Structure formats: C-alpha cells, structure tokens
Structure 1
Amino acid sequence: MKRKWTPYADLVITNAKIYTVDLTIPEIQNGNYDFTIIQNGFVAVKDGKIIGVGEGLDKSFIGEETIVNDVKGKTVIPGLMDSHMHAMFAAMDLANVPLKDCTSLDQMVSLLKERASSVASDKWIKGTAFNELQFTDGKKPTKEILDSISTTNPIFVKRTCCHVIVANSKALELAGVTKNSPNPDGGIIGHDANGELDGWLYENSAMDLIEKVFPPLSEDELVSSIEQIGKYMNSVGLTSVIDCNMTWDCMRSYLEALKQNKLTYRDNMMFYLDKAVGDIPYHLNRIYEMACVTGFGNDMLKMNGIKVTLDGIPATGTAYMRKNYMHMPETRGYTTITPEEMTQVCEYAAKYNWQVGVHTIGDACMDVCLEAFEKGGLVKDNLKNRNYLIHAVFPHEDMLPKFKKMNVPVTLQPTIMGTMGEESLLDEVNKELNQPAGWYFKNGIICGGSTDFPVVDCNPFVGMSKAVTRLHLDGKVHGAEHRISAKQALIMWTMNSAYFSNDEEKLGSIEVGKLADLVVIDQPILEIDGEKIADTKVLETYLSGKKVYEKK
C-alpha cells in the first residue's frame, strides 16, 4: 500500500554545518569561490529533491512520518561527483589479483603464485594495478617472470595506468601473438633486444589481443559487480560518476542493475571509440547510427558522450609530448589516431549532437585535440556539447586562446601525484606543471575533479588533499604555485564535475530544487590542514534523499 502524500518532508537533516557550494558555473569561472556556509542548519528533502535549506530548524517541514536526522554538528556537503573514471572496470577487477600495494616484483609474483596454487591448471589469472615505479628492487615483470609462475595457466597483469599489460607465454599463445605479429593500429607489441616477445603490450589495440580471449563475465556477474563497487563508492561519498570506455555488454548490464534496484550511484556512460574494435570509418558509422546520443536516459543512467584515447602515458613514453622524453630520448610519444581522424570524429560529433571527451596527457596531444575541436566545428556548439579534455596535465600559455574561444573544460586527477611516481621521469618544467588545478582556476577554465579509478583509488578526499598540498609520491611539493584552496577542491568534485554531465542545474550544490544527493562527513574540510583532508571519513551518503551508506 502506497503512503499517502503529505506536504511534509520525507527527511530533515538537522544540527549540521552545511557547505552548500551554491555557486553558478559563470561565477566560478570569474573567480568567485565564496559559497554559503551554514554553521548550524538543516536540509529538508521530499520526493528525492531538496525543498528547504537554512539556518536553525524550520519545523514546518516536519510531519509525523518525517525522518529527522540530528547529525550533531557534523558537516554536510553535496554528493560528490567523479568526472572521469572507469567504475565498470573497477567492478570487473574485484575478482582479480590486486597488485596496487606491491612494492617489489617478488611481492607481486608471490601473490600471483598464491592465486595459481588455488585454481585449475588451465584457468586464467589476471592481476591488476601493478606499478613498477614503486618497486624498491628496480625490477619489472616480463613474459619470463610470469612463465615462472605457470606455463599452463594463461596469466596477464595490467599496469596501474590501464595502458599496458604484461602477459605470459600461454596467454600470448592463446591470443595468437608471436614475435612476427604486426603492431595493431594505435598499439605496440613489445620485444626484447633479441627480437623476442617480452610480454609487454602497449595501448588498447594491443592489450585487446589478450583481453578479447579472456573469459568475459556474465550479465549476472556484471550486475553483482556493479552493486559491489557501488557500495564502495558510496562509502567515500560518491553519488555520481562519468564512466568511460563502455562496451555494449557494460551498458546492458547497467540497465539491468537499474531495473533490479542495484544501482546506487548515477552513472553517466561514455561510449568508447575503441581502435581495437574497428578503424575510424567504422566508428564514424557507429556515431551516425546510434540513436542514444548525449543526454539519452534519466537521472540515474544516461549516455554522456564519446570517449577517445588520443595518446598514452609518460611512464611508457606513449603520451604525445612537444619534447622527447628524458628516460626514452628516442621518442616523444604518439597519437593513436591521426589529427585528421580526430577532426573527422569531431565533425561527426558536432553533426549528430555528441559530447566528446578526449584522453590527452601529452602537451602535443592537447595541441592536436584543441585544433581538432576547432576544425571539427565544435566551437559554436561547445557550450551545449561541452567537449572536454581528460587529464590535460601539461598546459601552456599559448593554448589559452583556444581554451577561451571554445570554453573547453578539463578533468584532472590530483591523486595521481601521490601514487604514480612519474615525477622522476619528467623534466623540471613538466614536473612542476603536472596536474595544475591552480593554473586552470586562475585562467577561468572549468576544472573537474576525478580519479581515473581504478588507476588510483576513487576516494575524492585524497584527490582534494593532493590538489591543495601538491605533495608527490617522492615526498616533495612540486609546483606549489598551482595549489588550490580547500573550497576550490570541493568545487572540483561538486559543481565543476556536474558541468561535464550537463547536470549543474540538478546536482553539485545544496539548494532548493536540486536532487538530494548529500554526504555527512566527520570533519570540516575547509577548516583543517590540507594533508588531513585525505583522512576524512564519510558517515552517511544519501542519493535522492535515500540513505545508501552509513558508517558502522
């Protein structure tokens, strides 16, 4: 039996310090970060939306059935939003061997051996998130190292960046990869000094040679994984994400999770222009044929745009830079598709009303993408389509005219400064410039907060802390002039991130009329030392006024 409608709130949160983030996007671009802070206030929620917010307590919102939650002076913030991640990938990785905490090759091998000893001799073994840059022994995995674990189990491990995998002989055999196999378009098959396979496969088209023969999860398994990863993301305050590199199976599984009421975060799906699946003419035809374009869906699940991976990462020399690398002086990286192809994608996106988000780590790659945005006809429609750069970690002053002309936003991942260890591979200029949130704020460019999860942990408070302190993995502060305030950091994961999913009128702040995505945290993050922001604990998370997480 349905509950009778009443004029009272369903939920009232009281006795709260409230960081409203009640700013507009133009205000933020013009340098106004002074949102309203309510020292002792309330938030009233009805039918999933905020119907009241203010100082003290307005008892007129409270009826017999209203849930009243006294948070006893704790801080309430808007539901947090990650503007670039791979939630589905993280969900799928739950069944794999976690390697992110390994500090040596031996430790990594030990974990893989442990898994091999517990499964059948022909079962696939996948490890995730290794990072040889944090190995204290200076070693890195190879085909031979993985062969020493098993020659009958196909084994492969994915680097933390998700741009490289290393496979053993059995996995390479099943994938049909030999030392004479040609490099796939946009990727590289690694070889040692003698021309033999070393097991390393760079970028998606090469990695997919292995991953396409890896046994896929069933739809039921994917739905279960979505439910599990949602519980974790809610526990760190996330209520909305932009989820990249979606396959058809992933999209269908998300729809099924929504039908089964197992989706506890708003998922904005990015259709992936994957070179492993087809060439650019093939993808242009897909863009033309797809009816579910940007904005199709509802507040819980919708199509957000097209994701393009235009270059790689600095650690492997695949990010496309203006200058050659110090650790790989023979190269400055490359783009996975040509500038002309990138322009074609932008032309089709503009014609058929798609938003485009492009992975651009190298500064030369940023040049290519900004040029493609301009040539591809995205200038006049950019305020609507909001085409943006993902990562964009090495901007230069000569790029500003294009950023300004086209109103191009960027989504950064400050957590990476404290986990990847790439500063040792960068020249002094780029070492100081890396992940410059302050540069973007100073120049009025919308800068979203994100993590690239599972590349690094999706906890937004760690990212906020790194953006405020710029403390890197080497224990040093690089680029102190690009620090931002705690207010700006909170804006990155709220209003600014809402902009990337065209949701700033619905989400990103605590204001009447907006969806009631709310997070109760244990400390006032605007009033504490920047490093301590990372220690923030979420006490409760609400999605449309419904509690989806409570700390036990």
Structure 2
Amino acid sequence: MTLTLFKHGKLYGEWATKGDSVIVQNGIIQAIGQARELELQLSGKEYDTVDWEDAYVLPGLTDSHMHLSMHGMKLAMLDFTSATSKEEMLDMLRKRVAVTPPGEWILGLNWNENAFIPVEIPTLSELDAITDQHPVYLTRTCFHTFLANSEAFRRAGIGENTPDPASGAYGRNADGQLNGLIYEEASTAFTSVQPEPDYSVKKDAIRRACLDALRLGLTAAHTEDLRFLGSVDTMQRIYRELREEGIAFRTHQLIYHPFMEEARAQGLRAGDGNEWFKIGAVKMFADGAIGGRTALLSAPYSDAPHTSGMAIQPQPELNQMVAAVRAAGFPVAVHAIGDGAAHMILTAMEAHALTEESGLPDRLIHGQVLTADLVKRMAKLPLIADIQPRFVASDFPWVLDRVGEERTEYLYAWKKLLSAGIPCAGGSDAPIEPLDPFLGMHAAVTRTKPGETHEGYLPDEKLDIHEAIHLFTIGSAVAAGEADERGAMAVGKAADFTVIDRDLSERPQALLDVKARMTVVNGMVAYRA
C-alpha cells in the first residue's frame, strides 16, 4: 500500500486555517491537518514525503470540455492564434509552404478574422497566389468554418456547380463563385480526402496533450476524440497504453454520436471504466458557431438579417437521435450555442426524459445565447451547463454586433445560470481556446480580455473567484457523475491537487500569471516544475 505525506502547503478553502498537510493512501485522502500532527499519526509506519514548500494547493482542476487529440495536433500544426492581421496570417502560410514538399497538405488552425485589424478573411485568390502545388485547409478558431485553396477544392471534388450538403455550405461571392470558405459539415468532403494519420501519430497527439495539460495544472479532462481517433477500440488502446507508460492523467470520454453503436456493441455504458478512463455521454451538435454565423438563433443575426444560422438537423431528426441515445442507455451532451439550438435540444430532452440508469446528467454545451424561458426549462431538467468562460475574452466586443442589444441580457450569462440553480462545469474547448484553466477563470471573474482594465463586458455576469474555481473542480465532478469521488479537498476523496505559485484571492489579474508548481493525480506527482 502506497502511503504518502504531502506537507507544508497553503490549502484552499475550509482547510486554509486548519491544516497544511495531507496523508494519502492508495490515491485517497486519509487525513488533513498540520504537518506535525500528521507526522505523529504516521509514527512507526513507512511512508513517502512530498514537500509543497509553501505553495498554494487547490483541489485538482478538471477541464470539462476540450479535445485532447486536436490540442495535441495543434501543438505540432500551423497555428494562427498569434496572427493580428490577414497579412500576418498569409505570411505564416508562405513560410510553411516554403518548407513543405509539393503535393503535401498544409493544415492550419485558429485563424480569427475578428482579431485582425482590419477585419478581413483571406480570399481564395490570395491563397492560390501563395501555392497551387499544395492543398491548403485552414480551420477557423470556432472549428465550424474553414478556408481552403483551389487545389484543396479540386482534391475534394467540389466545383462551382456542386450543391451544398444538407448540414453545411460552400461560401460563394455575390456572383455565385466559390470564395474558399466552407461551413459546418461541408467540411467532410475535404477531411475525407486528407491522409489518415497512422496510429503512432494519433497516440503522440494524445500524449503531447496530456503532458501539456499536466504542465498547466490540470488533473483531468472531459474530451471528445473519436472524430480524430476513428474508433472506440483505438481510443481505448491509446489511453490504456499511455497509462501503462506512466502518464498519470484522468480522462472522461464523450462518445461522438456516429460511434455510439460501436460503443454499444462492446457493451459500454456511461460511467464505465476505472479511475483513469471513463465513458461519458453521447456528443451531438445542434448548431454551429457565432463567429461564422452558423449558431442557430431564434431571430436573424443583427449584422446579417438574411440568416438566423444553421440547425445541424431538423427537430424531428434531433428528437429521433435523442430517443436512440436513450434506448442505448446514455445521456446526451449537445453543442448548442444559439437560443434557437438550445430550444431544439431542450425540446428533445423534454420529449425523451433521462432515466436514472443513464448514470450521468445530460449536458448543454456552450449555451452562449439564451433567454429567461430557456434557463427556466434548463433548471427543471437533470442537466449540466457545460460552459467555457474564456469565450468572453475571445468573442467580445464583436459578438455584440452579431446578436444585437436586445439579446444581451442572457448573453454568456454564467451568473444567471448559477443563480437559477443549474450546475455549471468549466472547460476551455481547447484547442479553440487556450487550455490554461486560469485564463478561463480570469475571463469568468473579470469579463475582459487580458490587459483590459474596464468593468467588464456585461459585468453583472461576473463570477467571484470561488465560483470560478468551483467550475473547474466540483462542477466538473458533477458533470462526470463523480461528485462523491473528487472535486473537493476532503477525507475519502481522490488525492488530486493543483499546486500553484500564488494566492488567487489577492487580485484577479494574478490569474494571468499563475504557474503550476506541481500536479498530483491519484496521489502521484504527475508533473513538477
């Protein structure tokens, strides 16, 4: 039996004035108190000691919504996060073209025209001018809009006369000519002709992401990887092998809807697994994203009155999908950004109630544009609001032009969700946003971008620091059906600790500079700075 004394830490919460040390046995907290008294309890026993050296100790942080596979790929891809103009983005592309053999795909991600001065998206002709020897496929920061050059369109078999798919679209100029933009599931034609990563590439991506998460102080993540990994078998094998190789990181796996039958055929149900790897809800999409105006609103966009966005499937089909998930014994986790999409999925949830045998709550993921009525309906259902506070820093102020003043009362309304009694879990949606949980907390507490000093965007929705920490601890544990096992520093709960270099209660701006000094998972030091 592994017995460890973790001592000399500044503990978070109720233990701040009661203790500085923790006894852990076999991954479970056995006692909390002062170092001297715990050392007396351990007299005559063999145990290891880990000195926290007066660092600040939080319950282990968990990201409730991200994509480990794509975050791992991002770390090795052309990443436009830092680009501040169209010209800078194109220059980054030129440099990648210069070192890429002709004929190979060039993949990039995280471009965001709303961060460019002026606000401009590269055109098809500008991409073609850089290369006609490489297919270029660039993913917007929302992962719902894409940009490609003519060679990529040629390989995808998409021409001027190709009709739009049912759940997507090809962007066109006023004269009807393709403009290089691709929306939602129209992207399938492009991804299906890209080379399939082999097993080692997939495993390396997950490894990179897990190690990066531990470096940032995360002890666990709720992730959806099947669109990249390609099978439930591959997903299980990779995470099993990484654990056997010594990576101590917990994952809660959402099952992308097209893979539900494979999971069901293997006898898997929500909640199955062990302390390192568990099966979660079935992931579905109800709409797209606000940036590309594909999030489904109940009324037209204020800055584009010709569209209200896009439903990924009509209501009857969504109802049928939820009914099938219920029949398989799973909860659902549904991407719904616009109020139109939230109405659709709540209608489906109400029509097909979650049963106790599902084991876990449903999730409404994102919920960025809501209404008072939708919040009331959410509060009556056994669901979690799976929110991403960092979206505030990325989407304001331009999102105000998209939705208009009349929809701001319930815009990124995290405080109202909590006040309504709706359990909320906090995630990053990495690689769309930075994986760093403290950046998410900063956005939740200040409602500003880093460096801004105003009172915040819609400041009534600010959370206090304890509410922000709650999102990434107890909130995430509730979402995974693990509130009795982890999420708080208490005897009998899992020994997961995020050990950091500063006091989060001093000032909100400190959140921007936090560094993890140690990450402890299941009683093991998984990362040490």
**TM-score category of the 2 structures, normalised to the smaller one:** over 0.9
Identify the residue that residue 271 of structure 1 maps to in structure 2: 255
Could you tell me which of 432, 452, 467 is aligned with 2:444?
A: 467
- The yes-or-no answer on 1:520 pairing with 2:499 is yes
Q: Distance in 1 between matches of 2:249 and 2:235?
A: 14
* 1:189 match: secondary structure: strand
Q: Distance in 2 between matches of 1:382 and 1:392?
A: 26
* CA distance 1:156–1:284, change in 2 (3 Å): closer
Identify the residue that residue 313 of structure 1 maps to in structure 2: 289
Could you tell me which of 329, 333, 344 is aligned with 1:353?
A: 329
Q: CA deviation at 1:42?
A: 0.7
Q: Distance in 1 between matches of 2:326 and 2:15?
A: 37
CA contact (8 A) 1:468 1:486 kept: yes
* 2:87 match: secondary structure: helix
* 2:88 match: secondary structure: helix
Identify the residue that residue 444 of structure 1 maps to in structure 2: 421
How many residue pairs match? The answer is 519
Identify the residue that residue 256 of structure 1 maps to in structure 2: 238
Q: CA deviation at 1:62?
A: 6.1
Q: Which amino acid aligns with 1:231?
A: L
Q: Which amino acid aligns with 2:435?
A: C
CA contact (8 A) 1:88 1:250 kept: no
Q: Which amino acid aligns with 1:470?
A: R
Could you tell me which of 527, 534, 537 is aligned with 2:512?
A: 534
* 1:81 match: secondary structure: strand
* 1:502 match: secondary structure: coil
Q: CA deviation at 1:216?
A: 2.1
Q: Distance in 2 between matches of 1:509 and 1:244?
A: 24
* 2:390 match: secondary structure: helix
Identify the residue that residue 218 of structure 1 maps to in structure 2: 198
CA contact (8 A) 2:68 2:225 kept: no
- The yes-or-no answer on 1:199 pairing with 2:162 is no
* CA distance 1:142–1:13, change in 2 (3 Å): same
* CA distance 1:106–1:65, change in 2 (3 Å): farther
Q: Which amino acid aligns with 1:338?
A: P
CA contact (8 A) 1:367 1:399 kept: yes
Deviations 1:252-285 (A, max 9, x none): 14523422434432121112125xxxxxxxx786
Q: Which amino acid aligns with 2:250?
A: R
* 1:51 match: secondary structure: strand
Q: CA deviation at 1:162?
A: 0.5
CA contact (8 A) 1:319 1:365 kept: yes
Identify the residue that residue 510 of structure 1 maps to in structure 2: 489
* CA distance 1:385–1:519, change in 2 (3 Å): closer
* CA distance 1:259–1:324, change in 2 (3 Å): same
* 2:9 match: secondary structure: strand
- The yes-or-no answer on 1:52 pairing with 2:34 is no
Could you tell me which of 370, 383, 398 is aligned with 1:408?
A: 383
Q: CA deviation at 1:472?
A: 4.4
Identify the residue that residue 418 of structure 1 maps to in structure 2: 393
Q: Which amino acid aligns with 1:50?
A: I
Q: Please identify, of 60-69 and 514-523, the stretch whose mean Cα deviation from structure 2 is larger.
A: 60-69
Q: Which amino acid aligns with 1:193?
A: A
Q: Which amino acid aligns with 1:531?
A: Q
Structure 2: 5+ residue stretches without partners:
none
* CA distance 1:214–1:420, change in 2 (3 Å): farther
CA contact (8 A) 2:65 2:428 kept: yes
Q: Which amino acid aligns with 1:489?
A: A
Q: Distance in 2 between matches of 1:310 and 1:470?
A: 26
CA contact (8 A) 1:411 1:449 kept: yes
CA contact (8 A) 2:519 2:526 kept: yes
CA contact (8 A) 2:160 2:177 kept: yes
Q: Please identify, of 252-261 and 492-501, the stretch whose mean Cα deviation from structure 2 is larger.
A: 252-261
Q: Please identify, of 439-448 and 177-186, the stretch whose mean Cα deviation from structure 2 is larger.
A: 177-186
Identify the residue that residue 56 of structure 2 maps to in structure 1: 75
Q: Distance in 2 between matches of 1:351 and 1:329?
A: 40
Identify the residue that residue 372 of structure 1 maps to in structure 2: 348
Q: CA deviation at 1:473?
A: 7.6
Q: Which amino acid aligns with 2:430?
A: F
* CA distance 1:11–1:63, change in 2 (3 Å): farther
CA contact (8 A) 1:38 1:54 kept: no
Deviations 1:449-498 (A, max 9, x none): 01110000011111111111111489451221111111111110001111
* CA distance 1:53–1:46, change in 2 (3 Å): same
Q: Which amino acid aligns with 1:452?
A: D
* 1:95 match: secondary structure: coil
* 1:314 match: secondary structure: coil
Could you tell me which of 54, 68, 74 is aligned with 1:93?
A: 74
Q: CA deviation at 1:250?
A: 6.0
Q: Which amino acid aligns with 1:90?
A: H
Q: Which amino acid aligns with 2:515?
A: K
The two structures have a TM-score, normalised by structure 2, of: 0.93
Q: CA deviation at 1:529?
A: 1.3
Where do residues 23-422 of structure 1 align in structure 2 (5 Å cutoff)?
35-38=14-17, 40-57=19-36, 58-59=38-39, 60-61=41-42, 65-203=46-184, 205-247=185-227, 249=230, 251=232, 252-260=234-242, 261-262=244-245, 263-273=247-257, 289=265, 291-378=267-354, 380-381=355-356, 384-421=359-396, 422=398
CA contact (8 A) 1:74 1:523 kept: yes
* 1:410 match: secondary structure: strand
Could you tell me which of 453, 456, 460 is aligned with 2:430?
A: 453
* CA distance 1:420–1:168, change in 2 (3 Å): same
Could you tell me which of 519, 523, 527 is aligned with 1:545?
A: 523
Q: Distance in 1 between matches of 2:506 and 2:487?
A: 22
Could you tell me which of 10, 15, 37 is aligned with 2:3?
A: 10
- The yes-or-no answer on 1:434 pairing with 2:411 is yes
* CA distance 1:286–1:374, change in 2 (3 Å): farther
Q: CA deviation at 1:106?
A: 1.0
* 2:120 match: secondary structure: coil
Deviations 1:66-121 (A, max 9, x none): 33223232211111111111111111233311111100111111111111111211
* 1:493 match: secondary structure: helix
Q: Distance in 2 between matches of 1:402 and 1:485?
A: 25
The alignment yields a C-alpha RMSD, in angstroms, of: 2.2
* CA distance 1:342–1:290, change in 2 (3 Å): farther
* CA distance 1:545–1:329, change in 2 (3 Å): same
Q: Distance in 1 between matches of 2:417 and 2:440?
A: 16
